[in-house]
Amino acid sequence: MAENSLISHLKKGDFSRCSPFLEKALSGGENLVNFINDLLYIAASIKGKDNEEVHPLVTMNCIKNIIGDNKTNPSESLLLYGLHLSKERKIINYNDAIQKKEIEDESISSVFVGELEDALQACDWNSVDKLMPSIYYVSDRSRSIIDTIADLGLQNIDSNIVMIFHLLRAFNFKQKKSHVWTYACLLVNKIKSNPLREPNSRKDCAPKDFIKNIAGEKDVQKLVKYAAVSRIWDGDYVRLRSYRREISSWLYKNFSISAEKNIKDTQIKNRQIDFISVAEKIILNGNSHNMISEKLNTLDALRYLKNIGCKIDFKFHVDNLLEIEQK
């Protein structure tokens, strides 16, 4: 990696040398794409904190999505916030560790993906850590290891869906082979934090079947998770059939009952929302990174739900996001 690259400067914490990269990104086009992709990779390399509900990678991918509303004139404050996500944070160089292992191990033994799946299912983390490098090298460093971990992780949607969706989308942004191992390690570290459940049976339903049901949903975190599963459902993934099995089961458990509720067909007049402006205000008004990240995650989900025509009270939810926190 070139010494004058944005990634190398961020790994060293040398933010003073990042300004030229930001200035180029503000012109849009390929400079913006490369800038955001580097920030996504650095965010994926940040060590998470125990009290952190939303990992920096999720935050950076939300910023990427929201900036997409105006790519020709990207928001400087959003890009600047994304640039500083890694400030005073521990950066884990996952690639250095895997390269060292490759040198130390003269040969990487052949293993089957099923062995990794079994270890993940059993929450046998020692075996997972031993098997992952072999799977990575045997698959020629392909993204298949990410897809395998995501597949098992969806057995616990409530705990993992936000990370899985944003990680898959962040990696898909440019799909650099040199980034595969970092994304895979981040994802498995997330899954380790909560035991996996047994695989669920497929239900005959899809996200679109519940789009009216969520109109009366007051739990904003349920809306965030619904947006995430809906986006994965409509995605283009090798393991999509398996992903949809788990998603359909989760949807059935969480939203089928609400279909029996007497939801009034109220006419909600939703104003046009400038999501970029709202995101900028969230950053300006926020006094903690945790709260800003949680609000940006919610805002990105609301943006998606509005784009697909959900009839929820967006004004109510956006106004809540813009409430200034009490210090």
| 62, 86, 110 - which closes a domain | 86
Rounded to the nearest 10 degrees, the angle between the axes of helix 275-285 and helix 76-83 is: 50
The more confidently predicted of residues 218 and 262 is: 218
Q: Do 223 and 188 fall into the same domain?
A: no
Q: Which two tokens stand for residue 51?
A: 């009290």
Contacts with 237 (C-beta within 8 Å, 6 or more apart), sequence order: 147, 168, 243
Which residues lie below 8 Å from residue 143, measured CB to CB, with a gap of 6+?
171, 175, 180
Distance between CA atoms of 20 and 3, rounded to whole angstroms?
15
- Helix residue spans in 26-93 (DSSP H): 29-44, 56-67, 76-83
What does the block give as tokens for 178?
A: 């040199």
Q: Are 121 and 180 in the same domain?
A: yes
Query: Helix, strand, or coil here: 24?
Result: helix
pLDDT at position 216 is 81
| Amino acid identity, position 127 | S
What is the tally of structural domains in the chain?
A: 3
Residue 210's pLDDT is what?
94
Contact 61, 267 (CB under 8 A): no
Give the pLDDT confidence score for residue 100 in this predicted structure.
58
Asked which of 192, 218, 252 is the last residue of a domain, the reply is 192
Residue 294: pLDDT band (50, 70, 90) is: very high
Confidence band (pLDDT; 50, 70, 90) for 263?
Answer: very low
Report residue 297's pLDDT band, with 50, 70 and 90 as the boundaries.
very high
Angle between helices 76-83 and 56-67 (to 10 degrees): 160
Predicted confidence band at 78 (pLDDT cuts at 50, 70, 90)? very high
Where do we find the tokens 């799977």? 135
pTM over 0.85: yes
10-42 pLDDT, tens digit per residue, is 999 999 999 999 999 999 999 999 999 999 999
Q: What is the pLDDT of residues 112-158, one digit of tens each?
A: 889 999 999 999 999 999 999 989 988 888 999 999 999 999 999 99
Report how far apart, in Å, the C-alpha atoms of 62 and of each of 67, 152, 181, 218, 280 are.
9, 24, 22, 22, 12
Are 129 and 187 in the same domain? yes
Confidence of residue 322 (pLDDT cuts 50, 70, 90): very high
Residue 303 lies in a domain: no
For residues 15 and 80, state if they share a domain.
yes
82: in domain: yes
Q: What percent of the chain has pLDDT over 70?
A: 90
Does the pLDDT of residue 259 top 60, yes or no?
Answer: no
Q: Calculate what percentage of the chain has a pLDDT beyond 90.
A: 75
Q: Are 187 and 98 in a shared domain?
A: yes
| Tokens coding 321 | 């996001």
Q: Is residue 267 scored above 60 in pLDDT?
A: no
**Residues 159 and 104 both lie in one domain:** yes
d(Cα 131, Cα 133) in Å, to the nearest integer?
6
Residue 200's SS3 state is: coil
CA dist 61 and 64 (Å) reads 5
Whether residue 186 lies inside any domain: the answer is yes
Does 79 share its domain with 167? no
| Torsion angles phi and psi, residue 91, rounded to 5 | -100, 125
Does 129 map to a domain? yes
Pick from 260, 283, 300: which residue ends a domain? 260
CA–CA gap between residue 229 and residue 97 (Å, rounded): 33
What does the pLDDT read at residue 51?
83
Residues 177 and 100 in one domain: yes
Above 90 in pLDDT, residue 327?
no
Q: Do residues 159 and 187 lie in contact, with contact meaning Cβ atoms separated by under 8 Å?
A: no
Q: What does the alpha-carbon distance between residue 104 and residue 17 come to, in Å, rounded to a whole number?
A: 35
pLDDT at 242 over 90: yes
> Which DSSP symbol is given to 91?
B
DSSP for 289-315 reads HHHHHHHHHHHHHHHHHHHTT--S-HH
36 assigned to some structural domain: yes
Higher-confidence residue: 176 or 267?
A: 176
Cα separation, 62 vs 275, in Å, equals 11
pLDDT at site 71: 95
Q: Is the pLDDT of residue 44 over 50?
A: yes
Q: Which of 166, 122, 164, 114 lies closest to 138 in space, CA to CA?
A: 114
d(CA 79, CA 67): 8
Share the mean pLDDT of the chain. Answer: 90
Domain housing 112 = 94-192
